[in-house]
Amino acid sequence: MKVNLTILLVLVFITGYTQGLGSSKKEIVQTYGTNYTECDDVPCIFYVTDKLDKAGNTYESCKAYYFDKNSVCKLITYIEPIRQINAWIKAFQDLGYVPINELKYKDYASGTIWELERTTVGDINSVRVKVTYDIEE
């Protein structure tokens, strides 16, 4: 029972993370609200929210939606503290996503590609998680 509950929670977690792909900017704003910031150099909007890690510590998470020329979301990125990288990898493994390499996974059921990248935002070591549809399908 505990394993089934864990898998259900991971599925809910990941499904929420892909919501918005293929949606219009208007639909995303209707779903997530108007408390967003416009990106300066590319057509995107982002939201910053507080989240809790497994230990109960609060951290900031940034979720950005990138749009094509028709204002359709083609890419979602998350930026979180680097300490969250293992939680992302574990979630992908628990869901049975296929590893393409050490930091890239594919979900064949939804056709999404998940790519993790170590980065620095300001002076904070972070993980950037990109999710997009596999364009080769």
Instruction: Output the furthest CA–CA distance in the chain (Å, rounded).
Output: 48
| N- to C-terminal Cα separation, the chain | 35
- Divide the 137 residues of the chain into consecutive groups of 10 and give the mean pLDDT of each group: 40 52 95 94 94 90 95 95 95 96 94 95 92 75
Q: What is the pLDDT of residue 2?
A: 44
Q: Per residue in 30-64, pLDDT tens? A: 999 999 999 998 999 999 999 998 889 999 999 99
Q: What is the pLDDT of residue 54?
A: 84
Q: What is the pLDDT of residue 11?
A: 39
Please report which helix (H) or strand (E) contains residue 40, including its range: none
Whole-structure pTM value: 0.80
Please, are residues 67 and 23 in contact by the beta-carbon 8 Å criterion? no
Where do the structural domains in the chain lie, given as residue ranges?
A: 2-133
DSSP string, 85-116: HHHHHHHHHHTTPEEEETTEEEETTTTEEEEE
